[in-house]
Structures are given as structure tokens and as C-alpha cells.
Chains A and B, each alone.
Chain A
Amino acid sequence: MDELIIAGEKFTSRLIMGTGGAPSLEVLDQALAASGTELTTVAMRRLDPGARGSVLDVLRKRDIKVLPNTAGCFTAGEAVLTARLAREALGTNWVKLEVIADERTLLPDPIETFDAAERLVADGFVVLPYIGDDPALARRLEQAGCAAVMPLGAPIGSGLGIRNPHNIELIVEAASVPVVLDAGIGTASDAALAMELGCDAVLLATAVTRAQRPDLMAEAMKGAVTAGRQARLAGRIPRRRYAEASSPMTP
């Protein structure tokens, strides 16, 4: 069984979903079902975990593990506070750490992120930090005790795909914790590429929730992640400049 293991917890699906941008809870629910996801991230800053009929209920009904995130935080202080509130409210010590540097690009702030990660790890959290595609930072966060690293392919919601596949490969090569490609996925081939590059999972939201047919795109992403993973495990052939006949020339 080819399972994704994060902090000792096993997942069959390697597609982690986000919930932002869905036009309605029903559309979100159908998309989540079609994606086959077992782990989904939820922004804690605009959500009351106690409220009935919220996105959390949708996840509970589908038996999907909730990964609270700290979206919207600009400082390590805010992120740590948000993570603690989420732990208290949801009873999970998992957190997707997200500390944003500016509103225009929504790129992660590496210094605040590292600071928050250290404090959260010390506080017993399972920390999954969202970072730029920086191999050095990824390594440092792993050493600091993060349970996974989540480099971006491109800015959140941009759908630009994986802008620097080489850096993603470098992160994968060096990592001994799971690497989750987070942000930038626009369509199925982007997700497949992430897996072919050796990522252990893909996290996406907008590509599905803002698609014209979210449930169909979710199914496409599910297939893409599986296909990319299989291709990675199967081992691709080396690239060659010239043709190589596929039928044998010699008996």
C-alpha cells in the first residue's frame, strides 16, 4: 500500500484540499467527495468552530481530517495565537502554518514563518509550514522539527503552475519529511508534474473551487495526483536528443 505518512498518520489520498473560494457549501461538498481527499485545510480566522452547518460540518460528515491553517496572519505572534485557538477549538495539534508577507502577492514571510514554526514545535504542534520554493529554508524547517514542508509552485490563487520545478526537485532530494506542493496549481497537469517531481502530496483549493465545474475539476485533480505518483514510482525514461526505435532492431 502506497500511503502518505505525516507525523505517523497514514493517508491513502495524496490530494490535500483547501476550502476557500467555493460558491456554496454544497458545491464544496461535492468537490471534496470527487477529490477523494482525506485531509482538508480550513482558515481559522473567519470561522467559528462551534457554529452549526459550517464547512467543518461538511468535513465531519465526509470523515475528512481537518487541518486548521493560519491564513491571514502577518506575524509569528498572530500565527501562534491562531494555532493555539484552533487546537483548543478543534482538538487537533496539527496546523498548516501560513504567515504572509504582503497582501499583493500573499507570498510567505520566511523569517516570521520560521520563528512561528520553532515556537509551535516547542509547544507540541504538528507543524506543516507553507514556504517559498527555497531548499535552504525547507531544510532548516525540517531540522526545526516540522512534520512536513509545503513549498509553493506559484502565488496562492494564481494558477501559474510550478514556476521553478528545479527548486522543488532540490527540496524533495534533501527532505526526509513529506514535501507537499502547496499553491499555484492551475490545472491537472500541474498537479501531475508536482508528483512526478517527487512531491509526496499536493494541496490545492482555487483550481477546483473556482473552476466552472468544481466537482469535475476535483475528479481530474484526483486522477492527476495518482497518475503523477505512479509515474514517479515507475521511473520515467531518460530524455534523449534523438529517436530510439521502440521495436527491437536486433532479434
Chain B
Amino acid sequence: MDVIVGGGVVGLSAAWRLARAGRPVTVVDPAPASGASHAAAGMLAPVSEVTYTEAPLLRLGVASLRRWPAFAAELAADAGLAGTRDLDLRADGTLDVAFGSDDLAALDELAAYMEKLELPVERLTGRECRRLEPMLAPSVRGGLLAPGDAWVDPRRVTAALLAALDRLEVPLVRARVAELLRDGDRVVGVRLEPPGDTAPSPGTTAPAATGEGGSGLAGQGTSGLAGPSGATGQAAGAWDGWSAVAAEGVNAGAGEGAGAGSGERAGHGGAWEAGRTGTGTGIRAGERTAARAGIAGGLGEIRGERVVLAAGAWSAGLAEVPVRPVKGQIMRLRSPEPLLSRCVRGTVHGTPVYLVPRGDGELVVGATQEELGFDRRVTAGGLYELLRDARELVPGVTELEVADVVAGLRPGTPDNLPLVGPSGTPGLALATGHFRGGVLMAPLTADILLGEEGELAALCAPGRFREIS
């Protein structure tokens, strides 16, 4: 069995693809889809994000972007959605705009670099930019259109992933992993933190894990998807015993081996179990039972052949990996009518800012980049900078309603490339360090964890750093 530590877009995608391929999987996360995936804007824009020295990142991004349409279509089907529109997957391109002559010169230089890399970009005049996007400021002097860049709503994606996992009856253990279980030099599972143990460990104070009642998606009020709210709601706040830890949040309607399951937990009296009738049988249910047996036995352990560390910015708390949190503050605005028809980016006072429009009128404005450890506070200065810069690009944003402000922690690595694949320690694989590209690279990451080899996998290989263990 694969034990996936972390229920963000990367961990959930990996779990879904593995389960879909018939592999037994368990996901462990105290509050799935509440971290960086909840904050992320969901830009699938490898071309417009390219910078000097980052050609390898571009290769990964472009390759993963190509996999997104099929990934999204299969996800929508597995989650019971009507189509990829329900994920708000759109491929209408990104427009990078410049204001003064300085910005324009920089844009021209970037265009030349992109041409050298044979990227499909189109250089536009200011008027052409404003014909495409009439809400752009009149001071826009020119732009660069990356027509193939796309975007998606990460909150809908994680909700769909949770729904798909639910349908595949993949257990989701709502607990925090205290440490990796090791047997000699081998990783053999994870030890869970006892519920109610409030000892501070990295990432424990995520607002979504406490204040928002672990609902992750449903409680935000911004997602169009209902998500697995029944189950998540039940798990919320019930941190009073192991039963809560074992609550399989995504398994609201899913069955389990009734005899074994209820027997083990009889003494714990979890109210969440009411109404569950076991219908599932076979290997999957058996394994879930086995996983729970460890928990119910008071050990708080889950063992598996492979542990996949997908804990994002918190990964370094569990293994020696060169991952650090990079804070990003991001804002969601709301308008009756969409202001923009594609992603718009620009550099204002040397700070990059982007605006991502959703079909429902939401407009995402992001994002700051701050090296402040595990700080997840939303600050006045952060929001001021976002709005100041967004207003330069699109003056009309000041009329919009503020729907949501949030700070997330990107898992940064020294070279900005993710760490995916075998860690070098037997039994431990990594799927972390995606920095600004977790949503974009989720499909590629899942494929590598399924065994894909080659140039792309080599670029992500953890072995490029010595200090991993």
C-alpha cells in the first residue's frame, strides 16, 4: 500500500491516479485541500512564467500542461461532474503586459528569449492588447500573448479529487503525521499525532484546520462545488478520540467491511459512524481495516510498502528535504460580469502581479512572495501591494467585492524544481517542492509516481540533492 502524506492537489492527484491504476492507497492529512492548494490561483502558464535560468522548469511545465486536458476530463468523469468546465479549466492564453518604455524593452528582451526557446508567443501593441482585454489600463504600451497557457480553479480540482477518491473508496485519514516510521534505514509507514495533542509542529495552526472546522472547501463559500461536505463536516471538530482520527472524511457514502470496522471502533463511540452501513468488500475494504487496526490499537500508525511525502511546505518537518515555505498572499474579488477573458500579468514597480478570471465572475489577484517561515497571516501591506498593482493593470478592480483573502505557503526548493520520485531512502518517495507550480505539475507528478521514467523524471529526481534522507 502507498501511504500518501498530504492531501493537497499534489497528494490527492497522486492518490487518485494510483487508485485508478488499481493500487491500494491511503491519504493522511489533518485538513485536506486547505493549504497552498486552497490559496493557489491555478495558473497553468509555463510559457508566460518563463525566466532566465529556468529552462528546465519550463520543460516540466509545458509537459505537464499537455497532460492537463486528459487529466481534467478523467477527473471530471471520476468525480461525477458534467465536464472540465466544472473545474473551470480554460485554455484561452495569458497576456503579459508592459506599461512604460522600460517595461516594454524588458518585454522585448523576454520575447527574444522565448523565441530562442521556440515558444509560441505573440508580440502585441498596446491597442491590440486592449482590443483583447478592454478593461486594461490605457497606459498599457504592449504585451506578449502566450496563447497556449491555461488555468483552472484549484478549489474545484481538489474538491473533485476528494469526490473521485470517495468513489474509489480510498481511505482519507484526517490526522497529522508526527513522524515517519523507520525500520533500520527503511521507511515503513507513518506515526500519527494523537488528536488533541496541540504541541506545535510545523503547520499545525493552519486556519482551515481549526477555525474553519476542517471543512476545507465547503466552509469557504467560494467553491461552486458541494464537495464531500457530508463527511468533512462530520469530522470537523471531533478531535476527542482516535475515532475522529480514523474518520474517513471522504467516505461518506462508501462502504467498508462492516464487521471488522464497527467492531474495532465500538469502544470509541464516534458519532460520525452513525448511518454508515458497510457494503464494500474485498481488498480495499480489508486494507482500510488494516490501516485502522493500527490506529484503533492505540498505536496510531499506518504501515505501507511506500510512503509518499506530499506535505508541501511542511515536508521538511518529516524528512531531510530541502523544502522551505514561501508565503504568498492572494485575494479573490467578485464581479457580476467577468472583467477579463484571459489571464493578465504585468510587472508593476518591479513586482509581478497577475489577475485570473473565473467563469463565475471571480477574479483572483496574486500574489506576494515572502520568506517568513510558517507565517500565514494576511497583512495590510500585502493586500495593499496586490490591489495597488492590480489597479495599475485593470483600474476597474477597485469596484469589485472582496470575496476572500488568504495566505498560503509554497514549498520552495533551492532550484525551484520539484522533488518527485524515490528519495534514496527505501520505502520513501517524494512528491513535494512544487513551489509555484503544484497545480500545473500535478498530472506529471502523478505519472512519475506511477513509474514514468525519462528526461522529465530525471529533472525532478530528488537525488540531485545530497542531503535528502
Chain A residues with a Cβ under 8 A of chain B = 23-27, 29, 46-48, 50-55, 103-104, 157, 210-214
Contacts and interface: CB of A to CB of B under 8 A. Distances in A.
16 contacts: A23-B51, A23-B52, A24-B54, A25-B414, A46-B372, A47-B370, A48-B372, A48-B375, A51-B372, A53-B322, A55-B371, A157-B350, A212-B113, A213-B52, A214-B52, A214-B53
Contact of B52 (A46, A54, A103, A211): A211
Given A24-B54, A24-B415, A46 B373 contact: no
A26 B324 CA distance: 13
Contact of A52 (B52, B316, B349, B415): B316
Contact of B53 (A24, A50, A103, A104): A24
Interface SS, A side: loop
Nearest to A212: B52
Given A23-B52, A23-B54, A27-B53, A51 B415 contact: no
Given A26-B414, A54-B371, A214-B52, 10 more contacts: A24-B414, A24-B416, A25-B414, A25-B415, A48-B375, A50-B373, A51-B324, A55-B371, A103-B349, A212-B52
Contacts of A214: 52-53
B325 interface: yes
Contacts, number: 59
Contacts of A50: 373
A26 B415 contact: yes
A24 B373 CA distance: 17
A48 B349 contact: no
A213 B52 CA distance: 7
B293 interface: no
Contacts of B324: 51-54
B146 to A, nearest CB: 18
A42 to B, nearest CB: 10
B52 A47 contact: no
Interface string B199-220: 0000000000000000000000
Interface string B315-327: 0100000111100
A196 B51 CA distance: 34
B316 A23 contact: no
Nearest to B113: A212
B52 A51 contact: no
B200 to A, nearest CB: 13
A81 to B, nearest CB: 14
Nearest to B372: A48
Contact of B416 (A23, A211, A212): A23
Given A29-B414, A104-B349, A212-B113, A51 B54 contact: no
Interface SS, B side: loop
A-B pairs, top 8 by smallest CB distance, nearest first, are A53-B324, A51-B373, A48-B373, A26-B415, A24-B416, A26-B414, A48-B372, A25-B414
A47 B414 contact: no
Contacts of B349: 103-104
Interface of B: 51-54, 113, 316, 322-325, 349-350, 370-375, 412, 414-416
A27 B51 CA distance: 12
A64 B297 CA distance: 52
Contacts of A213: 52-53
* Most chain A CB inside 10 Å of its own CB: which residue of B51, B322, B350: B350
A225 B364 CA distance: 45
Nearest to B464: A26
B394 to A, nearest CB: 19
A83 to B, nearest CB: 18
A24 B322 CA distance: 13
B48 to A, nearest CB: 15
A168 to B, nearest CB: 24
A197 B54 CA distance: 37
A34 to B, nearest CB: 13
Contacts of B373: 48, 50-51
B316 A53 contact: yes
A218 to B, nearest CB: 12
A48 B416 CA distance: 19
A214 B415 CA distance: 14
A212 B116 CA distance: 13
Nearest to B369: A46
Contacts of A55: 371
A143 B371 CA distance: 36
Contacts of A47: 370-372
Contacts of B414: 24-26, 29, 53
A210 B415 CA distance: 15
A51 B372 CA distance: 7
A205 to B, nearest CB: 12
Nearest to B417: A24
Contacts of A210: 52
B432 to A, nearest CB: 13
Given A27-B53, A54-B324, A46 B370 contact: yes
Nearest to A24: B416
Nearest to A215: B53
Contacts of B372: 46-48, 51
Contacts of B374: 51
* Most chain B CB inside 10 Å of its own CB: which residue of A27, A29, A47: A27
B316 A48 contact: no
B110 to A, nearest CB: 10
A104 B370 CA distance: 21
A110 to B, nearest CB: 21
Nearest to A156: B350
Nearest to A42: B371
Contacts of B325: 51
B53 A51 contact: no
A26 to B, nearest CB: 4
B37 to A, nearest CB: 21
Contacts of A52: 316, 324
A103 B392 CA distance: 14
